[in-house]
Each structure stands twice: as structure tokens, then as C-alpha cells.
Homo-oligomer: A and B are copies of this chain.
Amino acid sequence: VRAGALAEARAPQAAGGVLLVTDENVAPLLPAALAALPRHVLRPGEEHKTWEELGRLLLALDRAGLDRDGEVVAVGGGVVTDVAGLAAALHRRGLAWSAWPTSVVGQVDAALGGKTAVDLGGGKNTVGAFHFPRAVVVDPRALATLPLRHVRAGFAEMLKSALLRGDEALAAAERLTPEDLLRATPAGVAAIEACARHKAELVDEDPFDTGARRALNLGHTFGHAFEAAALPALLHGEAVGAGLLCAARLAARLRPGATADLEPRLAAVLKRWSLPVRLDLTSASVLQQMRRDKKRAGASLRFVLPLQPAQVEIADVADEADVRAALAAVLPGL
């Protein structure tokens, strides 16, 4: 994490060749050293995080002649790092990659975990691999050119991170403003760094997401379903923000004695950031997505329940009535 890292970037060297992967939004903003590299430009947006885009990138890696000691350099948001990282995992059975995340979600979450994926068959991240980048360079100044909506959405992941870290982190997140991120103020840089470090620690402890790291799914069982069901599309962070409210309500319902009253506190922050706290979705469409995620008949859904700041419980919930009650936190007419 270093403000200004991108502007000072030097072009990576690799014996087997280098291909820079970015998207149409980021490409015009590349610093000269990176702009000089051979590149493949993805179409921007979550709707292009697809099997088909992955296939095109793999063809480009083949045409560029990268071999096993080559390197993929991903510069962009979570979609770019997810697709580029997966292509790096697969081209010639795996080559090195590095990530220069330029979105809030990328800097605090997506680029850091070694999780790469694309969407196939209607579900999110159905096809992917664990493939850890050689290096991740986080430059908070890259956020200056983001659309405000994307900055706000990314903050929802920072709020989740703060909730997992504790009361002090949550209070700091409550004081943060979009300007802190857009201008990379000391408070903004510190907040990004705290989130990135927390994520990196959990990933170190549990690289393959079978233990401690699962806490990071807080808000995501709901969030993924919102994201998949929403028309017009919700940004990932917007969906996760709403998911946090549902997770807090579910925790209060299932563990009534053990939970702080987190939902109003979270809702107040989300509102201040103009993030959606009511979604224009039917519970039927959301539940259908959640059933789709759970796949096998009879299986329960897994949720991360926020009990207190820095205290969560992983719970398998079998009763759909509990899920419906939690969805009422953000869905009308329930």
C-alpha cells in the first residue's frame, strides 16, 4: 500500500514475456511505463466477468507467446484481477501474475486473496482457481478517477472489514467520507491499508478458505443473491452493503441474547454513503438465487452472523423462514 505507487511504476520484466491486462476504463489512465507493455483490454463491468472473456484472454496469452516463466500484469478493478488471475492460473498450466488494483473493492479485497473466478451458467464465480499473485501493489491515488458510485459501493466492503476488525475500526469507518477515498487523505489511505492488511492476514492464515477466512463472507450469501437477481444491476459492494443489514437481522433473530444492535448502526452508515438500504426486488427472486447457490435439495445455507464488532459465528441455516425474516431488512412487502 503506497500512495503514488502507480505513477512511479516500472515495467515488469519476465523471461517468458509479459502481457498487461486491463479494461477500457483504466487503459487510457495507465502510467507511461505500463502503457508501453503489450496489452489485452477487457470490456469493463461485472457483466463481462465471463467464461467467454476468459477464453479471449487465454487466446491473447497464446498469441503473445507467454510461456511458463512469463508474467501477467493485471491493472484494474476486481473484474480485471479476477479474470486475469484465472487466465494466469490456466495458461500453460500456470504462470506468475501481479495485481495493481485500481478500485476500492480490488484494493481492500478482491485482488488480495488469490481467489480468481469468472461467471458461468448464471451463478457468480462458479469457475475459478486459487492462484496467488506474486505481488499486489495498492495505490490509493488510483481511486481518484473512479465514478462516485463505485467508490461508495467499495466502501461497503470496507465497512464489512471494519465490522470484522472491531469497535475502533468500525468507529473509524463511520467517520470516513467519500472524499477521503477520492483524494487519498491520510484517513483514507489508513483505512484502505487497514482493510488490505486484515484481508492479507486472514488469507495467510487460511489460504484456501476453509477456516478463518470464511468470516470475510459476511454479508455475501445475501449479497451474491441480490447481485444475481437485481435488474438494473447492483454493484457488488452495493449488494454486500444490503447483505450486511440482512446478516445483522439474521444474527439478532437467531442469537437474540448475543448480538449488539448492529443493524441500525450499519444502516446509518450506508445511508450516509448513499448506499441502498432498500432493494427493489421480490423475495421470490432472491430466494430462487439462494436456492440456486445452495444447489442440492435439503442442503442448508451458510451465513456469517455478526454478533458483535470483531465477533462472528458461521451458521448453517436450514429454515427458510429465518432467511425470509432477514431479507425483510431490505426488501419491501415482506
Segment 134-189 of A: residues with Cβ below 8 Å from B:
none
* Chain B residue contacts of A93, Cβ below 8 A: 115, 117, 125, 128-130
If A120-B55, A120-B59 touch, does A127 touch B65 (CB 8 Å cutoff)?
no
If A62-B123, A120-B58, A121-B59 touch, does A129 touch B296 (CB 8 Å cutoff)?
no
> Chain B interface: which of A20-28, A84-92, A316-324?
A84-92
**How far does the alpha carbon of A67 sit from the alpha carbon of B123 in the complex, in Å?**
13
* Chain B residue contacts of A129, Cβ below 8 A: 89-90, 93-94, 129
**A301 → B minimal CB distance (Å):** 12
* Chain B residue contacts of A94, Cβ below 8 A: 129-130
Tally of chain A residues near chain B (CB < 8 A): 31
Could you tell me the dominant secondary structure of chain A's interface residues? mixed
User: B63 to A128, Cβ gap below 8 A?
Assistant: no
Q: Bits for A37-60, please: 1 = Cβ < 8 Å to B, else 0.
A: 000000000000001000100110
Q: A62-B126, A90-B129, A91-B127 are in contact. List 18 more A-B contacts (CB 8 A).
A: A17-B296, A51-B58, A58-B121, A58-B127, A62-B120, A62-B121, A62-B123, A63-B121, A66-B295, A67-B299, A89-B129, A90-B128, A92-B126, A93-B115, A93-B128, A94-B129, A94-B130, A129-B129
